[in-house]
Homo-oligomer: A and B are copies of this chain.
Amino acid sequence: MSKKDKKMVEEITSMSEDFAQWYTDIIKKAQLVEYSGVRGCMVIQPYGYAIWENIQKTLDAKFKELGHENVYMPMFIPESLLQREKDHVEGFAPEVAWVTHGGSEELSERLCVRPTSETLFCEHYSNVIHSYRDLPKLYNQWCSVVRWEKTTRPFLRTAEFLWQEGHTAHATEEEAQEETIRMLNVYADFCENVLAIPVIKGRKTDKEKFAGANATYTIESMMHDGKALQSGTSHNFGDGFAKAFGIQYTDVNNELKYVHQTSWGVSTRIIGAIIMVHGDDAGLKLPPKIAPVQVAIIPVAQHKEGVLDKANELKERLSKKFRVKLDDSDKSPGWKFSEYEMRGVPLRLEIGPKDIEKNQAVLVSRVTREKTFVSLDNIEEEVEKMLENIHNQMYDAALKSREEKTSTAKTYDEFKQIVSEKGGFIKAMWCGDVKCEEKIKEDTTATSRCMPFEQESVSDKCVCCGKPAKTLVYWGKAY
């Protein structure tokens, strides 16, 4: 075993000991990301990028099915364009990277590297939207954006990250609102049915909404360490941007109207959620539908006649339906077992001389670690069934974990105690006053995650000030 191999199977710091170190160890050892010499920027390695590609493929197909078209906007925004919408520039200007020189010449106007592209889409829409026949415009873009964050962590918070940003323009307020909720539901379904991550759907408070939006909707998920992660957002802009950018159309009655707009996005952050919702002390645990390798074939006693032939034959058969990797390197089967476990491969297939004799293979689930002996005759069906089970088991485990980490608080003392001792989501009533939100954040560092669509009344008083409650809010510390 080479020095590097040894390093690979070293223990990962246990979650309970140091969750942040556990996260860093996994990212490094599963070769998802390597740190770069560029402040706050990451190198996304093949295994990490393949997860992103699978996420892209699934979401992109769904966007297109719903009539969205992909475009590409410039990566730069002139300072004057960024300033066009007042709230928007206030929200983003403090954290953008500024280009001031092209070659050796100083630019007459600074350009920022896009932190998000509302302003560019709006400028474009003002050029191409004229009549009701040009609506709706349902555009999306896959790109990287830059936000000059002070402290960074791979996937969770980086100066540059990859994402998609949908930007749509509609004739009416109702259509824009429908689109906003439709796309939030696309994200929620994607998290639950593809990533096996249960989410809470809700609306952000005014304090937490996107700079320039009328309303921001969010899906919130719960990590192993009791912190929440905002996993996707969908914004309804009303006609605010349209007025700032002059995006008007003539309707059927030849009247000039402003469009109503939305935007929505999911980023590489979601890979952080996958790690922190599903992983364990043995490493990553990848949802089958986006795992770059769904089945790792490990030959046992591979030097014996016929073993590698059979392993290759199985690889060929299974590759027709699944993403398969055969590891016929000279490392020991034991090393390979823990390697692919650490890398989160959902299913391991072992095949050795005795198995071949019996026309069987051994399937080992990353989730239950149970060995199942299956006949080679219908191995495709067995693999399919097990991958489906693994997805469901992962979802159920994540839901159970979230439920265990969800508490209800009626009094502020209770609230503070839960934040400091247990963490997780806290369901508590709110009066609607931003002052209470600010006080809670100051006292506990917990923030309002969302006003969930599924409202219930756990008390009739605001958990902070005791005044009459308006809304149930999910609170929690968050990434």
A-to-B contact residues, CB < 8 Å: 2-4, 34, 36-38, 41-46, 49-50, 52-53, 69-78, 81, 93-104, 111, 113, 120, 123-124, 127-128, 130-131, 133-134, 139, 143-144, 146, 148, 159-160, 162
Contact = CB atoms under 8 A, between A and B. Distances in A.
A96 B104 CA distance: 9
B124 A74 contact: no
Contacts of A124: 34, 36, 43
B148 A103 contact: yes
A62 to B, nearest CB: 16
A136 to B, nearest CB: 13
A217 to B, nearest CB: 26
Given A70-B50, A75-B146, A103 B99 contact: no
Contacts of A143: 144
A292 to B, nearest CB: 10
A-B pairs with lowest CB-CB distance, top 10? A41-B74, A46-B69, A102-B148, A44-B72, A98-B101, A38-B74, A100-B100, A97-B99, A103-B148, A94-B103
A180 to B, nearest CB: 21
Contacts of A42: 74
Nearest to A101: B98
Q: Is the interface of A mostly helix, strand, loop or mixed?
A: mixed
Contacts of A73: 36, 43
A34 to B, nearest CB: 6
Contacts of A104: 94
Given A75-B113, A93-B103, A99-B99, 19 more contacts: A4-B133, A34-B124, A36-B74, A37-B78, A38-B74, A38-B78, A38-B81, A38-B120, A41-B74, A41-B75, A43-B120, A46-B139, A53-B70, A75-B75, A75-B144, A94-B103, A95-B102, A95-B103, A97-B102
Contacts of A50: 69-70
Contacts of A46: 69-71, 139
Contact of A97 (B4, B101, B159): B101
Contacts of A38: 74, 76-78, 81, 111, 120
A100 B102 contact: no
- Which residue among A50, A102, A131 has the maximum number of chain B CB atoms within 10 Å of its CB? A102
Contacts of A34: 124, 127-128
A4 B103 contact: no
A95 B103 CA distance: 5
12 contacts: A34-B127, A38-B74, A38-B81, A43-B73, A44-B71, A46-B69, A50-B70, A75-B113, A75-B160, A98-B99, A99-B113, A143-B144
Nearest to A330: B133
B99 A43 contact: no
B123 A37 contact: yes
Nearest to A43: B124
A71 to B, nearest CB: 5
A36 B103 CA distance: 21
Nearest to A119: B37
A131 B73 CA distance: 42
B49 A71 contact: yes
A324 to B, nearest CB: 14
